[in-house]
A and B are shown apart, each in its own frame.
Chain A
Amino acid sequence: MGSSVADGAKLQPSRAGSRLCVRCGERKAALKRPKTLEQICRECFYIVFEDEIHQTIVDNSLFKSGERVAIGASGGKDSTVLAYVLSELNRRHNYGLDLFLLSVDEGITGYRDDSLETVKRNEIQYGLPLKIVSYKDLYGWTMDDIVKAIGLKNNCTFCGVFRRQALDRGAALLKADKIVTGHNADDIAETVLLNILRGDIARLSRCTFITTGEDGPIPRCKPFKYTYEKEIVMYAYFKKLDYFSTECIYSPNAYRGFAREFIKDLERMRPRAILDIIKSGENFRISTTTKMPEQGTCERCGYISSQRLCKACVLLDGLNRGLPKLGIGRTKAGDGKEHAKHSERSTSSLQGKHGNFDF
């Protein structure tokens, strides 16, 4: 394969670590960077990894001094590394940010517990205060309560819609100025591809923005937009960061799973493909004849909505009035299909990494 032949790997295949870092020329190389194909040592990797994220933050003016920033924390690899790196950079470069971890507890007995335990350890390890908001706080209903009211059949509509909003509502409750999430370059490339496959032009242009929701109450940003998943996992591994990863095996959405696999296959042949797909997404121009849905805000909670009330408020209305089926069934294309496949199990994937496109 093209990438491995280039630097003589074939000539000297046997021993690990026999080659030197191209950056310092002193220490043994520990990994091959997918972005640049450079072989670098651990220490140099830490430096370039952190510097690139810092550069992304500076170039895109992601933060202002004094801001209160919620790190959407699921206990998984991306948000764990994000919390660690962001608190380092905040100290090192004096961003002046008031950082805290924000986790959502859906209220599913015996489920969320392990990943919340991880986030609780992160709180201590990184010295970041942790706020956990529950569905009970946000909506007045736990996921268990909802399942009791509505049965197992339709609960995916709820978990999809509720999860999509939970971070925003939690951040509002805690008076955050901004939310950061751990979406990485692979995630964004995957979403670009999915939006193309679905013909979802509105989301296609939006999904590559590093900051979204600037017109809404709380903007969201993705400091890992250009950071490869491989490097995030390598970083977590070398630094022995404590993260939680059991849900990874169960992909709730088969279609998304195929897109992911395709991206990973491309990456193996040509690692730059991931950045190139993001670039393609960024450079799409929307023709004026394409109808864009009107974006407004929900009258009741202020969340982005094309209707008078947002989907979550409609569903809540139904629950509270004892008519839990209200709002289900008239689901627009996206929501219903998105969640049709996934079982109860996927309710454990906090903040809808798989199940939604709230980029």
Chain B
Amino acid sequence: MHLTLEFGGGLELLLKSSTKVHKVEVPPKDGEGKVTMKGLLSWVKANLIKERPEMFVKGDSVRPGVLVLINDCDWELCGGLDAELEEKDVVVFISTLHGG
């Protein structure tokens, strides 16, 4: 599945290449044929994050204080971890932690 991921608020510094926008191809989980936010988070952790993953994830979700938007909509309105992504969705992650 083709997705556009955007990292902001300093999260981009944790990535292998510290650009903000990443066009990626995320494979659906075996047998399910779909990509959920939960699946995406573990994919990002495994494939994009270079250092200090604890700044990005906590347990199986994002670290509290990291905002997530799916197609510019707060993920809390879209089902959070269970939200199912679709082809060409844009997912934005923004850290709110510090740097006021």
Contacts and interface: CB of A to CB of B under 8 A. Distances in A.
Contact of B76 (A4, A14, A261, A353): A4
B73 A349 contact: no
A182 B96 CA distance: 14
Contacts of B40: none
A233 B9 contact: yes
Given A14-B84, A77-B9, A187-B100, A245 B71 contact: no
Interface stretch (B24-32, B41-49, B62-70): B62-70
Interface of B: 8-10, 13-14, 52, 55, 63-65, 67, 69-80, 82-84, 89, 92, 94-100
A265 interface: yes
A16 interface: yes
B69 to A, nearest CB: 7
Contacts of A265: 64
A121 interface: no
Contacts of B65: 229, 260-261, 264
Contact of B67 (A76, A184, A234): A234
B83 A14 contact: yes
Contact of A237 (B69, B75, B98): B69
Nearest to A7: B77
A30 B10 contact: no
Select the residue from B52, B76, B94, B100 with max chain A CB neighbours within 10 A.
Answer: B100
A328 to B, nearest CB: 27
A233 B98 CA distance: 11
Contacts of B73: 16-17, 28-31
A47 interface: no
Contact of B99 (A13, A31, A32, A248): A248
Contact of A246 (B74, B79, B99): B99
Interface in A232-252: 232-234, 237-238, 244-249, 251
A15 B89 CA distance: 11
12 contacts: A16-B71, A16-B89, A29-B74, A30-B73, A32-B74, A32-B77, A74-B100, A186-B96, A245-B10, A249-B97, A249-B98, A353-B99
Contacts of B55: 249
A230 interface: yes
In order of increasing CB-CB distance, the 10 nearest A-B pairs are A13-B79, A248-B99, A264-B64, A78-B100, A31-B74, A248-B10, A16-B73, A248-B98, A264-B65, A16-B78
A49 to B, nearest CB: 14
A190 to B, nearest CB: 11
A301 interface: no
A271 to B, nearest CB: 10
A77 to B, nearest CB: 6
B67 A17 contact: no
Interface in A4-55: 4, 9-10, 12-17, 19, 28-32, 39
Contacts of B84: 13-14
